[in-house]
Amino acid sequence: MNCKPGDMAVVVRIGECPTPVHEAVMRAVIGRIVTVVSLYDRQGAATWAIKEPFWLNIRGVGKTLVTGIDDSVLQPIRGDKAPRATESPKTLEAA
C-alpha cells in the first residue's frame, strides 16, 4: 500500500486501464494532487476515495466525475518530521 488515510498524494503514472475511458481519465489526472480518505475495492484494485472529487471533461467521452484513484498510481507526499520549537536546528558543515 502506497498511501495511508489522510495522506496527500500525487498521481504519478497510468495504471491498468480496462477501458479507453479509464485510460483517458488516467492520462488527464497525472500530476494532480489529491487527499485520500478511505480505501475500497474497485474490481480487485485497491482504490482510495478522495476528499474532493472533481469533474473531467474528456473529448469524445464527455464529463466524468472522479471520486477515487487506485493506490498503485499514487505517491504519497510526506516530508521529514519538522523539528520541535525547543530543538535547535542542525548546522551543515561545508566540505
pLDDT in tens, 41-60: 988 889 999 999 999 887 77
Higher per-residue confidence, 9 vs 42: 9
Delimit the domains of the chain by residue range. Answer: 8-76
DSSP codes, 18-66:
SSHHHHHHHHHHTT-EEEEEEEEEETTEEEEEEEEEEEEEETTTEEEEE
Which three three-digit cell numbers place residue 59?
A: 473529448
**pTM score:** 0.73
Q: How far is CA 13 from CA 1, 62, 73, in A?
A: 15, 22, 5
Q: How far apart are CA 95 and CA 86, in angstroms?
A: 28
Name the band, by pLDDT with cuts 50, 70 and 90, for residue 91. Answer: low
